[in-house]
Amino acid sequence: MKLTKAQQQEIKDLKSQENKTKRVIAPELEKILFDAIPILDHGFVRVIDYMGDDTSIVQAARVSYGKGTKKVSTDSGLIKYLMRHWHSTPFEMCEIKYHIKLPIFIARQWIRHRTANVNEYSARYSVLDKEFYLPSQENLAVQSKNNRQGRGEIISGEQAKEVLKLLKTDAERTYDNYETMLNERYDGSVIDEKKSGLARELARMNLTLNTYTQWYWKTDLLNLMNFLRLRADSHAQYEIRAYADVMLDTLKKWVPITYEAFMDYRVGGTEVSSKGKFVIRQLLEGKDTNLEESGLSKREWNELMSAFDLKKKIVE
C-alpha cells in the first residue's frame, strides 16, 4: 500500500483533531477512524465518517419512546428480532462513509451495488497513479468448469510466471503509452516541451483494468450489510472479498450488536423454500426422501443438503 505525502499528512491532521459532540459515537470505530487499512498490493480502506450506532437502530424502531431503551439485553433482543424478520428501515438510520483505493476491474464489479453515494477519482481531471494490481501466485487459477463466473484449480509453475509477466508487462506498457499521449509523467513533469498532450479524458482509455482508482463510498447500514452478505461470502471473487472482509471488521467495531445478529441470521443462517421445508420435515420424521420426489432442482437439492450438512444425500 502506498499513500502520498498529502494523504499521510491529511490522516495525521484528522487524527490529531479533538472535536466535542453530542451525537452517539462508536468507541472501537473511533480508534481506527481515518486509518488506511491495507488491501491487496496497493489498495486500502479508510473509514472517513459515520452516523449512529446500535442505539440509533433501537431508537428508530421505537420512535415513540424517544431515546429508546437503556438495557443492552433489550436492545439486543429487538435488533435480533428486526434482523430475523427482515425489517429494514431502522437499519437505514445509520450511515458510514469509506475512502477506498481499488483496482478498476473491482470498482466496476462493486458499482453494481447501486445503493450508495459514490464520488470517484477523476481521470479526466487528474493523472492516475502508476500502480497496478498483480495477483499473488496462489490467487491465479483456471476458469471453473461448473461456474461461469468463478475460478477452478490453481495455476502453478512456469504458466503462473508467464501470466504474471504478461499482466505486469501489459500494465507497464500501456501506462508508458498513457504518459506519452499525455506528454506528462505521473509525477507531474512534462516529457517534451515542444509537444501538446492529449486530453486526459481520451488518454485514459488505453489503461488496463488492473490500474488503481479511488473513491468515497457512502451508504446506510442496511445496504452495507446487503453488500457484505454477498461480497464477504466464500463464493465471491477473492479481490472484492478482501475488501469486504476488512469492511466486515469495521461493521463489528461500529455496531457490535447488529454485527452479531447479522452474522447469525444473514451470514450463518439459510433460507429454505416451502419444498425444502417439506424435505427437512420428512427427514426429521425419519422418512426417506429423494430428489425426484422433492420437486427441487438438482442445484436446489444440493444447496439444501449442504446447508444442513447432509453430505450423504448430495447428488453428484
Length of the chain: 316
Q: What is the DSSP letter of 34?
A: T
Whether the CB-CB separation of 257 and 72 falls below 8 Å is answered with: yes
| Dist CA 113 CA 101 (whole Å) | 17
Q: What sign has the CA pseudo-torsion 92, 57, 86, 112?
A: positive
Whether the CB-CB separation of 52 and 221 falls below 8 Å is answered with: yes
| Dist CA 296 CA 300 (whole Å) | 6
State phi, psi for 81 to the nearest 5 degrees: -60, -45
Sheet holding 212-220, edge to edge: 37-39, 43-51, 95-103, 212-220, 117-120
| Dist CA 212 CA 256 (whole Å) | 32
Assigned C-alpha cell, 117: 453515494
Check if 46 is active-site: no
Q: Which of 200, 231, 281, 299 is an active site residue?
A: 231
Hunting for cell 501470466 — which residue is that? 163
C-beta neighbour count of 282 within 10 angstroms: 15
Catalytic residue list: 231
